[in-house]
Amino acid sequence: MRRLTFILILSLLFFNAFADSRNGFAIIVDDESWGKCSEEILAYAKSVQADGFASFVAHDAWATPEAVRDSIRKWYAQKNLAGVVFIGDIPIPMIRKAQFLTSAFKMDENSKSFPWRDTSVPSDRFYDDFDLKFDFVKRDSVETRFFYYDLSPEGRQRIQCDIFSGRIKPSADYGDKYQELSEYLRKVVRLKSEDRDNILDRVASYTGAGSFSDCMIAWKDEGITLREQIPDAFKSIDGAKFFQFHQYPYIKDTLLRTAADPSLDLFLFHHHGTPDRQWIQSAPIANDDEEAYNSARLSIRAVARNHVRYGESEEEAKAYMLKKYPEIDSTWVVDAFDPDVVRADSLTDLKLGIVLSDVRAANPAVRVSIFDACYNADFRESDCIANRYIFSKGNSIAAIGNSVNVLQDKHSSYLLGMMTLGYTIGEWHQMSAILESHVMGDPTFHFHSDFHRPDLSNDDPGYWKEYTNEKHPLDICGMALQKCSMLNAEGMPKLLLDTYESSDSYMLRLQCLKLLQYYDTPELPQAMRVALDDPYEYIRRKVVTFLGMRGEDSDAELLARQYFADANAKRIAFNIENNAPFFRDSLFLEEFDKVRSGEDFIFTTPGKEGKLSDNSWYGRDKVLKSIGMKKYIISGLFDKNGKRRARLIEMMKNYPYPEYAGNLLQLVSDESLPDDVRISSAEILGWYIHAWNRSGIVSGLEEMVGKYPGAIDWEIRKSIARLNEYRKD
């Protein structure tokens, strides 16, 4: 029998400005953490209650995720639950068959080359989104806190969290993890009292090497969007700070000093990452030719060493580098494996990233950090970057990050203005969560605001439509539009289009386009085509991606013209190049050549011999490369080799070409084929969420429901459910 124990905190006799009608808050703790830290946990519960939440503590051995989830759902019904926090060793759901709910994660779940640990997504959406359904697969025999689940076709195929959540998971890597937990909770209690009047008016942002393809056109708009969402930060000279990797030869110390500033409220990091590192730079920034030469040599040596790590000999690695880069000579790699050179390069490499020990020494004081990076919040590990920030001796309270890799084009500040208006970190994240994103730390932390907040728990579409008027703050309008969409309010496509066309706000227009993608009405393509001329680069970037994946003939010329409209918009050009093959045959290439021939400028890229060819016209070689990739992938649809066919079909998660949907439907229905080919084909059809022919795909799949064995039918029903998420009217 389970030994679930409740510690109820006496309810306040009043509720302050932060109390919503749904305001229960569960502090879910493992028994050992409770036994070692009960005093601090109770003090934390009382501090949460001071913000208007009816908090209570539930501690148990928590043997399975189902035990936690079932308790949460019971409390939602009985205790008006709004949010939860998991403290200590709470079971970790490892989600499979749900990669379409992530921004980028697409590891082959069927491959025997990768362990399940690496092909699954640790996610607390298992706990906080009640309409997602899961089928239990197995428990990890080694890391026994991991439980593997497949996302079921029986539930919704879109994330809409019912409550907010956070994790407070201390590490034993630095001594007693319960001491670390106690110190963190005492810090939270202290700062909740001391900072009660602290408004969000100090923000910093860093853009690392490789982020946004180092495109200044993509970077420049963040000052505009943050001004919209955090206006108080732009009222003083030091309220908003922006950093880029090329400002200093090594920018690491500058970032750590900034993060340690006790007056800093929010730090946004845009860079690459791993659980134990913020990859802030790829090479030292050079100020002269000699430094540039040394920096380039360092990069070449690093690549050569990677080849050795993956099985090549040192001589093979050197030969490969000389062949790949004919512009270098043997002096670039001759000392690549010399122990003294390796040691010196390692010390240089440490200057290019922020590692766990750096964070621990710097003691970040920034209250909230957002890591727009891969794996920085991978709570499977004994420690990770996000956790090291909050468990530092400084004043950091919460960090939002990702448990697996993320899309570089992901926007990390949707509805960020909610924080400015006094909503908790958890409430903001509840409205913007993806499968891999998580709040590490106290999810009830908030900044001060006198704004009267709309009640997030209200389920009346009419209530929310009142807040779509732009007399309200822009992210209240955006949040209201999202709530209306979630609640299936009538007339949404027109409202979204009208709001897009009338609004001066970058972020509100972006929200309208984001929500319109779930509707299969004329307003969707109409808004997207108008948005090709939007002044906000990120909107244009996402629109060309959408129209490319839609693959409608009439849009090929539009995207070709967009490609030549601004040669400096690297991310837009990259997305158009990648999506060129989504148009049938070589239609985009034909339109590309027509537009190019009419331009009065020349962008060319010399070949290796310095000569120009027809394909070296700006970007044409990249378009041809994408078309070549299409031919390679599509060859798998007709290949007789079952293994190769299944592998290439799996690649279509990234490349769901609309013109080949019919071929995939035929593969699903072909009973002479191996089951793995048919299953993969059925699954890939669920990735056609933007395709112009998605309604026809749904019709074709619906004709097959119930006709074939379990796993095939399971994938058919799941793809139908997923596609239908994008067919609202």
| C-alpha closest to that of 440 among 365, 357, 392, 369 | 369
The C-alpha atoms of residue 56 and residue 79 are separated, in whole angstroms, by: 10
Residues 122 and 20 in one domain: yes
Q: Is residue 448 part of a domain?
A: no
The C-alpha atoms of residue 488 and residue 486 are separated, in whole angstroms, by: 6
Q: Is the pLDDT of residue 88 over 70?
A: yes
Residues 99 and 36 in one domain: yes
> Among residues 311, 328, 350, which one ends one of the domains?
350
Q: Supply 659's token pair.
A: 């013109």
Reported confidence tier of residue 310, pLDDT bands at 50, 70, 90: confident
Pairing of strands 398-402, 437-441: antiparallel
Q: Please report the pLDDT score of residue 611 as a whole number.
A: 41
The C-alpha atoms of residue 507 and residue 353 are separated, in whole angstroms, by: 31
Q: Contact at 8 Å (CB) between 246 and 285?
A: yes
User: How many C-alpha atoms does 677 have within 13 Å on its Cβ side?
Assistant: 22
Q: Please report the pLDDT score of residue 568 as a whole number.
A: 82
Residues 277 and 426 in one domain: yes
Tell whether the torsion through CA atoms of 657, 659, 663 and 664 is positive or negative.
positive
The whole-chain average pLDDT of the chain stands at: 92
| C-alpha closest to that of 685 among 709, 653, 726, 647 | 653
Q: Is the pLDDT of residue 686 over 60?
A: yes
Q: For tokens 């409430």, what's the residue?
A: 427
Q: Is residue 69 part of a domain?
A: yes
Residues 128 and 221 in one domain: no
Reported confidence tier of residue 617, pLDDT bands at 50, 70, 90: low
Tell whether the torsion through CA atoms of 189, 195, 197 and 198 is positive or negative.
negative
Q: Is residue 589 part of a domain?
A: no
Instruction: Give the domain range for residue 644.
Output: 639-724
What number of other Cβ atoms are within 10 A of residue 159's Cβ? 18
Q: Please report the pLDDT score of residue 412 as a whole number.
A: 87
Q: Please report the pLDDT score of residue 224 as a whole number.
A: 97
Average pLDDT estimate for 221-247: 95
Q: Is residue 535 part of a domain?
A: no
Q: Is the pLDDT of residue 606 over 60?
A: no
Q: Is residue 519 part of a domain?
A: no
Residues 257 and 173 in one domain: no
Q: Contact at 8 Å (CB) between 633 and 651?
A: yes
Provide the number of structural domains found in the chain.
4
Residues 164 and 215 in one domain: no
Q: Is the pLDDT of residue 370 over 60?
A: yes
Reported confidence tier of residue 374, pLDDT bands at 50, 70, 90: very high
Q: Is the pLDDT of residue 17 over 60?
A: no
| C-alpha closest to that of 493 among 464, 526, 469, 470 | 526
> Among residues 441, 474, 491, which one ends one of the domains?
441
Q: Is residue 630 part of a domain?
A: no
What percent of the chain has pLDDT above 70? Answer: 95
> Among residues 140, 158, 177, which one ends one of the domains?
177
Q: Supply 612's token pair.
A: 């120009």
Q: Is the pLDDT of residue 289 over 90?
A: no
Q: Is residue 617 part of a domain?
A: no
Q: Please report the pLDDT score of residue 283 as a whole number.
A: 80
Question: Which position has the higher pLDDT, 9 or 301?
Answer: 301
The C-alpha atoms of residue 643 and residue 664 are separated, in whole angstroms, by: 16
Residues 233 and 216 in one domain: yes
Q: Please report the pLDDT score of residue 2 as a whole number.
A: 47
Average pLDDT estimate for 420-436: 98
Going by the DSSP 8-state scheme, the letter that residue 396 receives in this structure is: -
Residues 241 and 298 in one domain: no
CA dihedral 409, 415, 421, 422 (to 10 degrees): -80
Residues 54 and 142 in one domain: yes
The C-alpha atoms of residue 711 and residue 721 are separated, in whole angstroms, by: 15
Q: Contact at 8 Å (CB) between 590 and 560?
A: no
What number of other Cβ atoms are within 10 A of residue 144's Cβ? 10
Residues 211 and 297 in one domain: no
The domain that holds 409 is classified in CATH as 3.40.50.1460
Q: Is the pLDDT of residue 608 over 50?
A: no
Q: Is residue 220 part of a domain?
A: yes
Q: Contact at 8 Å (CB) between 96 and 149?
A: yes
Residues 68 and 186 in one domain: no
Residues 137 and 199 in one domain: no
Q: Please report the pLDDT score of residue 171 as a whole number.
A: 97
Average pLDDT estimate for 6-16: 43
The C-alpha atoms of residue 498 and residue 512 are separated, in whole angstroms, by: 9
